[in-house]
């Protein structure tokens, strides 16, 4: 049975247990009713105390009985996070499941992309790999927005501050679009110089310039998409970004097939075709996520109703959390560039093996990323709701699940390494030998990588991004970069030496993140 609520504007809304419960915000009935009232009216009431008071009755929330479900239940439902009614395990899988599916598909598409380029030649594989390394620098700047937005939105939703969450999205979009345009301009002007700086040989530069330009254009669309995705995930809705990701990746895969090798009458554009397909898919993805976020029932419904003028307070909250995250990524990417340059100096076959192994290892890493992002949302929302013990418990549970899953993936990679590498570069036994060797090295480190990603995600959700930056920076420079030059240049261990350094880096970071999370200072950080 439901209670009709009048809103003083000639509109009645029949609240139902099923529809409302799935939103996941029923911590405070009056606060939640204010939110639902604003959605139905088509406007946002900044101060719930100013909402119409003709009827402030609260709907009953008992479980519906047979024949108790009204017409309102037939509308599309948002099956999101529910801190009040779900167990920690349920909430983890509600968040991590769609993220895992999305990232696995992304990894499969990236792997297929690499395999298709591999049929063009090792130079095309190297060109795509080096260009992606450079594009990650631009992404590092954007991480200030992505991480800050996700963390702040999670806190605001957990505290019931829905209009503040909407404002955070609007402000983040302004910065995301600006960073995207700047990145594209840089990629357009300095593509050749950047590839040469990375140690690319002339044949690699020839393949990479076209891909680099299209990759830069795609970032303009991707950053907007990622801002919406971060906001949705922070709100507890990981399904919508997953659906958009599926469409984007399938379009990307289709475009790669048509344009890299020139199938069905399309020109064979090699690496440039891969970049063109990426840009087109990202453009479609941007349009989809903006549209669906605006029209579907979700915690960000009505996000566009409000000012887009820069707001110092809202931007400050995002940047206070996000800037250390951006610093972390920039530090990581700077170190990664030196790391990659050392590997590129080993020759085209060594670098091609390195790229193939990275693609294969990324399939396992999707588990860590997914549970890490889920932990960011859970920790942020539980802290916003005032339950730090649940926030801590959710992180430890996520760590155990991710470590077990990635450990199993590590075992699989260790015993099937040569076969997996041959799928990407058939007929090149040198690449197969090198790729299999380094894949087995990193397979042993998989559980430690899980701990790294999950607990770092928990600290980000709490807003403790400064310590994430410090730990990452210290580990990646002292372990990965310094040990790479020691193992590769001094000890002449080749590509295997570089991957030994990578494994040690992940081991050190996992230990430091466990220490920081156990200390518990993150519980007292305000966002």
Listed by start position, the domains of the chain span 5-61, 90-524
pLDDT value at position 511?
A: 95
DSSP SS3 for 261:
coil
pLDDT, position 4: 36
Q: Which backbone phi and psi does 12 adopt, to 5 degrees?
A: -115, 140
What was the pLDDT predicted at 69?
A: 30
Query: Which residue bears the tokens 């920076």?
Result: 473
Q: How far apart are CA 208 and CA 134, in angstroms?
A: 11
Rg of the chain in Å (alpha carbons): 24
Burial environment of residue 147 by CB neighbours within 10 A (0 to 12, 13 to 18, 19 or more): buried
The tens place of each residue's pLDDT in the chain, 527 residues long, gives: 333 333 333 333 333 333 333 344 433 434 444 444 444 444 444 444 444 444 444 344 334 343 333 333 333 334 556 666 667 777 788 788 888 888 877 777 777 766 777 676 777 777 777 777 777 777 777 877 888 888 888 888 877 788 888 888 888 898 888 888 888 888 888 777 777 776 667 777 777 777 888 888 998 899 999 999 988 888 888 888 889 988 998 898 899 889 887 788 888 887 788 888 989 999 999 999 999 888 877 778 778 887 778 788 888 888 888 788 778 888 887 888 788 888 888 888 888 888 888 888 888 888 998 899 889 888 988 888 788 888 899 999 999 999 999 999 999 999 999 998 888 777 778 888 999 999 999 999 999 999 999 999 999 988 898 999 999 999 999 899 999 989 988 898 999 999 999 999 999 999 999 999 999 889 888 76
Contact 325, 460 (CB under 8 A): yes
Residues 394, 375: contact at Cβ < 8 Å?
yes
Instruction: Measure CA 436 to chain center.
Output: 28
pLDDT for 83 equals 63
Q: Among candidates 417, 414, 404, which has minimal Cα distance to 450? A: 404
d(CA 126, CA 117) in angstroms, rounded, equals 9
Calculate the alpha carbon distances from 316 to 144, 172, 185, 309 in Å. Answer: 11, 11, 27, 14
| pLDDT confidence of residue 131 | 74
* Among 24, 18, 22, 20, CA closest to 40: 20
Cβ-proximal residues to 40 (8 Å cutoff; 6+ apart), any chain: 7, 11, 13
The encoded tokens of residue 330 equal 């920039």
Note the pLDDT of residue 223. Answer: 92
Q: Alpha-carbon distance 251 to 465, whole Å? A: 35
């Amino acid at each position: 049975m439901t209670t009709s609520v009048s809103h003083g504007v000639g509109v009645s809304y029949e609240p139902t247990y099923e529809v409302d419960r799935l939103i996941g915000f029923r911590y405070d009935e009056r606060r939640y009713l204010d939110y639902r009232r604003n959605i139905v009216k088509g406007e946002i009431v900044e101060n719930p105390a100013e909402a119409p008071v003709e009827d402030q009755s609260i709907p009953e929330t008992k479980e519906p009985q047979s024949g108790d479900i009204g017409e309102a239940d037939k509308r599309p439902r948002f099956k999101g996070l529910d801190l009040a009614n779900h167990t920690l395990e349920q909430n983890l899988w509600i968040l991590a499941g769609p993220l895992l599916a999305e990232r696995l598909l992304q990894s499969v598409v990236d792997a297929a992309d690499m395999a298709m380029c591999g049929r063009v030649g090792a130079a095309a594989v190297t060109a795509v790999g080096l260009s992606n390394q450079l594009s990650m620098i631009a992404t590092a700047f954007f991480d200030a927005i992505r991480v800050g937005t996700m963390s702040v939105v999670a806190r605001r939703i957990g505290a019931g501050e829905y209009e503040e969450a909407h404002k955070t999205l609007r402000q983040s979009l302004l910065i995301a679009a600006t960073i995207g345009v700047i990145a594209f301009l840089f990629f357009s002007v300095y593509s050749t110089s950047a590839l040469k700086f990375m140690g690319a040989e002339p044949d690699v530069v020839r393949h990479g310039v076209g891909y680099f330009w299209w990759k830069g254009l795609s970032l303009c669309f991707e950053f907007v998409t990622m801002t919406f995705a971060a906001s949705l995930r922070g709100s507890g809705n990981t399904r919508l970004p997953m659906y958009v990701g599926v469409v984007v990746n399938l379009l990307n895969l289709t475009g790669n097939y048509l344009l890299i090798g020139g199938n069905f009458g399309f020109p064979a554009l090699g690496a440039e075709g891969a970049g063109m397909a990426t840009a087109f898919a990202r453009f479609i993805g941007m349009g989809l996520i903006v549209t669906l976020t605006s029209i579907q029932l979700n915690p960000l419904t009505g996000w566009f109703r409000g000012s887009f003028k820069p707001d110092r307070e809202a931007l400050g909250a995002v940047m206070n959390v996000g800037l250390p995250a951006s610093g972390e990524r920039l530090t990581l990417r700077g170190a990664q560039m030196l790391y990659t340059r050392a590997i590129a100096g080993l020759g085209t076959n060594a670098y091609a093996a390195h790229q193939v192994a990275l693609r294969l290892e990324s399939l396992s890493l999707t588990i860590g990323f997914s549970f890490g992002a889920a932990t960011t949302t859970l920790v942020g929302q539980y802290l916003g709701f005032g339950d730090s013990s649940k926030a801590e418990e959710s992180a430890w549970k996520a760590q155990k699940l991710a470590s077990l899953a990635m450990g199993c993936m590590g075992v699989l990679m260790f015993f099937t390494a040569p076969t997996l590498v041959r799928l990407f570069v058939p007929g090149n036994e040198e690449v197969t030998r090198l790729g299999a060797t380094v894949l087995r090295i990193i397979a042993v480190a998989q559980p430690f990588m899980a701990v790294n990603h999950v607990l770092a995600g928990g600290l980000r959700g709490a807003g403790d991004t400064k310590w994430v930056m410090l730990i990452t920076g210290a580990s990646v420079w002292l372990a990965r970069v310094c040990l790479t030059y020691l193992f590769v240049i001094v000890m002449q261990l080749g590509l295997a030496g570089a991957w030994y350094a990578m494994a040690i880096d992940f081991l050190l970071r996992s230990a430091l993140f466990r220490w920081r999370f156990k200390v518990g200072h993150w519980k007292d950080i305000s966002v």
